[in-house]
Amino acid sequence: MRRTVAVLIVALLALTLVACGGGTSEEPDTTPDTGDAAPPPPPEEEAPDLSPSEEQVFEPFPVDSELGVPTAIQSRLDAGQPMIIVFIDDSQKTTDDQNEIVRSITETYRGLIDVVSFNLGAYVSQDAQGAITVKPGLSDDEIAKQVARLIDADHLDIRFTPFLVIVDDQGYVTWRHRGISDDKTLEREVLRVTE
């Protein structure tokens, strides 16, 4: 009987080792190293910054001493009327969306803030390097020259449309935004300059 028990114990131990994987061994990878390493990944190009965040500054609205600014803006600056200045390009698909957001906010706060809108596509063109120039045939148009000067790097530095600027009753730029603004943020900024 002892022999039978011993044989059973040995058999159980053998089965346990096989079930636990103790009886097999993995063969090592024997592929020869040829010395060829994978080629390095191509260098990543820096993507242009198209985020809607703009540096927020509190500064006087830039009035060009030579050309001035469009009458629609100057009359509101003189009257101390807060305004939203919207720079759009009608050829962009985002124009309708941005106009709807601005319209809904200004309807709510009618009389407290004015909207001045410029269709940049009508006045200027932009080349591949980003240089903005007045379209041919418009160089005699005073408003086109004033708008082109407003959007250059020395003034508002607008390189992307839609672009919104909020000006308070003292003539200071309180908020700038490039891209489509969300209605809650725009409403908050309108309340800030009208209360």
- Using CA atoms, how far residue 88 sits from 77, 79, 94, 99, in Å, is 21, 25, 9, 9
Q: Could you give the CA distance from residue 67 to residue 25 in angstroms, rounded to a whole number?
A: 86
Query: Which pLDDT does position 147 carry in this prediction?
Result: 83
61 exposure class (CB count in 10 Å sphere: 0-12, 13-18, 19+): buried
Query: Which pLDDT does position 149 carry in this prediction?
Result: 82
In angstroms, how far is CA 157 from the centroid of its own chain?
Answer: 15
- Using CA atoms, how far residue 82 sits from 22, 115, 171, in Å, is 82, 9, 8
Rounded to the nearest 10°, the torsion over CA 140, 146, 151, 152 is 70
Query: Which pLDDT does position 190 carry in this prediction?
Result: 94
Q: Smallest Cα–Cα separation from 164: which of 86, 92, 95?
A: 86
* Domains assigned to the chain: 59-194 (3.40.30.10)
The one-letter amino acid code at 180 reads: I
Tens of each residue's pLDDT in the chain, 195 residues:
666 656 667 666 666 666 665 555 555 556 666 656 667 777 776 655 545 556 677 899 998 888 889 999 999 999 999 999 999 888 888 888 999 999 999 999 999 999 999 988 777 666 666 566 667 766 677 887 888 788 887 888 887 888 999 999 999 999 999 888 889 999 999 999 998
Q: Is the alpha carbon torsion for 101, 103, 108, 109 positive or negative?
A: positive
Q: Where are the beta strands (DSSP E) in 89-178?
A: 114-119, 124-126, 132-134, 163-167, 172-178
Q: Where are the beta strands (DSSP E) in 24-74?
A: 59-60
Q: Could you give the CA distance from residue 96 to residue 89 in angstroms, rounded to a whole number?
A: 10
Helix or strand run (H / E) with residue 86: strand 83-88
Query: Which pLDDT does position 176 carry in this prediction?
Result: 93
- Using CA atoms, how far residue 162 sits from 30, 46, 49, in Å, is 61, 23, 15
Which tens digit of pLDDT belongs to each residue from 24-43? 555 555 666 665 666 777 77
Query: Which pLDDT does position 14 carry in this prediction?
Result: 67
